[in-house]
Every structure is written in structure tokens, then in C-alpha cells.
Amino acid sequence: MNFKIEKKLKNELGRAGVLATLHGVVKTPAFVTVGTKASVKALTPEQIKNLGAQIILANAYHLYLQPGDKLVKKAGGLRKFMNWSGPTMTDSGGFQVFSLGAAFGDSVTKIAQKTTLRGPTSKSFRDNSGRLMKIDEDGVNFCSHLDGSKHRFTPEKSIEIQHNLGADIIFAFDECTSPNADYEYQKEALERTHRWARRCLAHHHHLEAKLPSGEKQALFGIVQGGRFEDLRKKSARIISKMDFDGFGIGGSFDKKDMYSTVGWVNQILPEEKPRHLLGIGEPEDLFGGIQNGVDLFDCVVPTRIARNGTLYTRSGRINILNSKFKTDFSPLDENCGCYACQNYSRAYLSHLFRAKEMLAGTLASIHNLYFIVNLVAEIRQSILAGKFFQFKKEFLDRYKQ
Ligand SMILES: [Zn+2]
């Protein structure tokens, strides 16, 4: 993997770059499309490619439970299994192990203000279903959200799963704490995450030594530390000294202090390596993240809300189930170049949702993903053209209406 910065924002951390992976190039900043279970819900890989998506992120926890990482390996790895020809990523399963069962379901968000992520506040805690989860120095015991069966993840296990899945970019296994965790617990969890990061690197190098050079994966370390400035900075300093290929910024955030948190971290992380803000990426989040040095975003929200009929437009979100759209024969968003907006009206989408037709979720997902993927691409262009702040103001003034 190779990362090259093309242009930087003056007096800011933001930049535009090119990330070259073994299976294709990602122009950054970029939105990473989420295909948790080796599928972007309701879309075929052709549709995903046609809307401009460059890279897909799947999840180690989900694929380990179903159909099993060894089966994916047997199928030729994630790309071959899901028929996606471009670059791929997997996340370590850390967030899911600590929040799932607990945070599983449609209300999951990493923004603490909206819903609280029910991660641990101490070493043993109950998830949403009242099941006890236990963290020890070596790893974490948890129950499958599918059938309640017992499992154990260690840093080594997560890396082994991600090697079996075979994505271009993989992540270190970290502890994702609750935003309600106090300073003392955050500090303890952070130190454990740093020890786990070293173990992830060691096991990655051990497994990698057996691979041909054409199959080498890039490993990103994860910075944690919650909302505490000194912990975030400490984490960034410690993780940046380790031999990672790039970095993820994990954990949960209050929306109001998300950008300062990201800024603290990115001032410390080495400039020449890519940075991924994990699980964040709605339109209003992108500008602040990019300005503060984020290169990659992933977020399930655009496709999740699409399946419920909520669509992005340049003037803000609309809900297509609103009765005024029943007889509105204009496109979903007249400024949008996506397949859905080029060919279908608001009235037709409204009908599909009311009739509970599967095509509703497909067309809405195409639109929302196109909107986000191309908004990030436009932000990239604005950086290259020296017009970032102008574009940010124009977009946000209109989007907030
Ligand atoms: Zn559209």
C-alpha cells in the first residue's frame, strides 16, 4: 500500500491524496461504502461501482459468525466471494464485540448525543439483552447476537480472521468503551488497547511472513481515548510510534467536540500515513472531518436511512413517505446525477415505499450512497482547486435550510 498527498489545505490539517492498494486506487478523501456482511444491502457490486464507490468495508465479527471466515477464505477471500473487483477493508470486530447484543439494531450510532453506545464502563458489563461480557488482559468473551453461542476474541484471533477474509486494509483489535465510562476506566481500557495493538502487529507480521508479496495486507492501528484530550493525545503518540500502515480514529464522540477530538489526534499522527474516522460520515460530518485531516470515512447511516425512506438532498434530508411527495413528479433531487434521480420521480419512490416494494430500498440506497460518495469527491476537487472553504460554506448554508 502506498499513500501520496497531492495537496494540503493552507493552515489546516486537511489534504487530498491517493491511496494505492493491491486491488486499485482510492482517491482521498473518500467515503468507504459499508458492506458489513460482504453485501451492501439491496445493491449489486455493479450498482455500487456505477454510483462511484471506490472501496468497500466489511466486518470481521459478522463474517466470523456467519458464514465463517474460513469459508470466505475457501471462496477465495472477501473480494472474490462478494464479486467486488476494487479495494476492500475489514474492521476488527472490536466495536461489534463491545456494543453488539448491546447496540445491535437500527438505533446504533457513534454519536453519543443521539444514542448512547453501550460499550463497557468496567471490565464486566451486561449488554442490551442482559448477557454478561467479560474483558480480561488477553481478550474478551461475548455471546453471538445470532444464537447466543459463546465466543472469545483476542487480538490474535481478530487478526487471524481478517487474514482469512483477505481485505487490502485491516484494523487492529481495540476496546471500544462507552462514552459514559469515567476517566479511570477510559485510561485503563486505553492502555489495554495499546498492549493489544502491539500484539496485533506482532501476529500480523507472523502471519504475513508466510504470504506471497502480492497478498500483503495493510494494518491500521486505532486511536482511542474517548472525549478526554490528554488520553486522545497520549493514544495518538503511542499508536503513531508503532509500525502501522495507517490509522483509525475510533470510539464515540459528542458531535459538538468531534472535530476538536479529531484535530488533537491528527496533529500528532504522522502526516504521510492515511487516517480513517471509523463509523462517521453523514453530510454535515464530512467537512469538519476532512478539514481536520481525515482521509477515509465509513458510515452505515446513508443506506440505513435510505431503506426507511429518508433521502439526502442538497437542501437537507427529506422523507419520501411524506404525503406531499405522492403526486410530486420531479426527481428526488434535481441536482443529482444518480441512476435513481435520472430515471424516477418522487411520486414513484413514494409509491414503492408505500407498497413495500424491494426496489424502493435499492433506488433509495443508490441515491443516498451516490450523494455521499460524490459529495466527498466534490470536497476533494475543492481542495485541489483551492476552493474548500467556499464550497463548505455554499454546501452547509444550503443543506441546513
Ligand atoms: Zn440521486
Mean pLDDT of 92-103: 71
Number of domains, the chain = 2
Whether residue 358 contacts residue 365, with contact meaning beta carbons closer than 8 Å, is answered with no
Average pLDDT score over residue span 85-114: 66
CA of 51 to the centre of ligand 1 (A): 9
Identify the band that residue 284 occupies on the pLDDT scale cut at 50, 70 and 90. confident
Residues 376, 265 share a domain: no
pLDDT (0 to 100) of residue 149: 86
Same domain? 361 vs 385 = yes
Q: Are residues 284 and 199 in the same domain?
A: yes
Q: Over the stretch 209-222, which tens digit does the pLDDT of each residue have?
A: 988 877 899 999 99
Pull the grid cell for residue 142. Answer: 461475548
Report the pLDDT value the prediction gives residue 116, as an integer from 0 to 100: 44
Please compute the mean of the pLDDT values over residues 226-241 and round it to a whole number: 95
Element housing 164 (H / E): helix 155-165
> Could you please report the per-residue DSSP string of 296-349?
EEE-SHHHHHHHTTEEEETTEEEETTSGGGTT--SBS-TT--SHHHHH-BHHHH
Do 205 and 329 reside in the same domain of the chain?
no
State the distance from the centre of ligand 1 to the C-alpha of 250, rounded, in angstroms.
Answer: 30
Give the Å distance between the CA of 40 and the centre of ligand 1: 17
Question: Would strands 169-171 and 88-91 be described as parallel, antiparallel, or unpaired?
Answer: parallel
* 162 and 44 fall within a common domain: yes
pLDDT in tens, 48-65: 999 999 999 999 999 999
Cα(158)–Cα(186) distance, integer angstroms = 22
Report how far ligand 1's centroid is from the alpha carbon of 354 (Å): 19
Whether residue 312 is found in the same domain as residue 293:
no
- Residue 330's domain spans which residues? 307-399
- Among 69, 168, 298, 333, which one carries the catalytic annotation? 298
- Joined together, the cell numbers standing for residue 39 give 453485501
Per-residue pLDDT at 113 exceeds 50: no
Considering only residues 26 and 112, tell me which one the structure prediction assigns the higher pLDDT. Answer: 26
Residue 327 has pLDDT above 90, yes or no: yes
The pLDDT assigned to 126 comes to 61
Confidence tier at 92 by pLDDT (50, 70, 90) = very high
Spacing, Cα 365 to ligand 1 middle (Å): 9
Considering the domain architecture, whether residues 128 and 245 belong to the same structural domain is answered as yes
> Are 253 and 393 in the same domain?
no
CATH number, domain with residue 89: 3.20.20.105
User: Which whole-number Å values give the CA distances from 141 to 94, 131, 136, 274, 341, in the listed order?
Assistant: 12, 11, 8, 31, 46
Of 111-125, 147-161, 354-368, 387-401, which gets the smallest average pLDDT? 111-125
Active-site residue (options: 69, 91, 168, 333): 91
What's the average model confidence in pLDDT over 230-234? 97
Return the pLDDT at 144.
86
pLDDT at 119 over 70: no
Q: Is residue 127 among the annotated active site residues?
A: no
Q: What is the mean pLDDT of residues 74-102?
A: 89
Distance from Cα 301 to the centre of ligand 1, integer Å: 16
Q: What mean pLDDT is predicted for residues 223-238? A: 95
**Is a pLDDT exceeding 60 seen at residue 146?**
yes
Does 136 qualify as catalytic in the annotation?
no
**Residue 9, pLDDT above cutoff 60:** yes
Q: Ligand 1 centroid to 73 CA: how many Å?
A: 36
In this model, does residue 389 exceed pLDDT 50?
Answer: yes
Asked if 249 and 13 touch (Cβ cutoff 8 Å), the reply is: no
Q: Please say if the pLDDT value at position 104 is more than 70.
A: no
Q: Which of 59-63, 91-95, 122-126 has the lowest mean pLDDT?
A: 122-126
| 31 Cβ contact list (under 8 Å, min separation 6) | 53, 281, 286, 296, 297, 298, 299, 372, 373, 375, 376
Residues 293 and 318 in one domain: no
Percentage of residues in the chain having pLDDT higher than 90: 77
Rounded to the nearest angstrom, the distance between the alpha carbon of 252 and the centre of ligand 1 is: 30
Per-residue model confidence (pLDDT) at position 189: 92
Split at pLDDT 50, 70, 90, the class of 200 is: very high
Are 225 and 185 spatial neighbours (Cβ–Cβ below 8 Å)?
no
Beta bridge partners of 16: 7
DSSP assignment string, 28-63 = ESEEEEE-TTSS-TT--HHHHHHTT---EEEEHHHH
Q: Give the pLDDT of residue 254.
A: 74
pLDDT of 178: 79
**Do 336 and 282 share a structural domain?**
no
pLDDT at 71 over 80: yes
Check whether 268 has a pLDDT greater than 70.
yes
Read off the pLDDT band of 132 (50, 70, 90): low
Give residue 336's pLDDT.
Answer: 95
Ligand 1 centroid–CA 341 distance in Å is 4
Amino acid 226: pLDDT: 87
Same domain? 314 vs 241: no
Q: How far apart are the first and last CA of the chain?
A: 41
Q: Are residue 48 and residue 99 in the same domain, yes or no?
A: yes
**Of 299, 319, 337, which residue constitutes the final position of a domain?**
299
**pTM of the entire structure?**
0.93
pLDDT of residue 131: 56
How, if at all, do strands 132-135 and 124-126 pair?
Answer: antiparallel
Instruction: Please identify, among 256, 283, 299, the residue that sits at the C-terminal boundary of a domain.
Output: 299
Q: Of 299, 332, 356, which residue constitutes the final position of a domain? A: 299
How many angstroms does the Cα of residue 102 sit away from the middle of ligand 1?
34
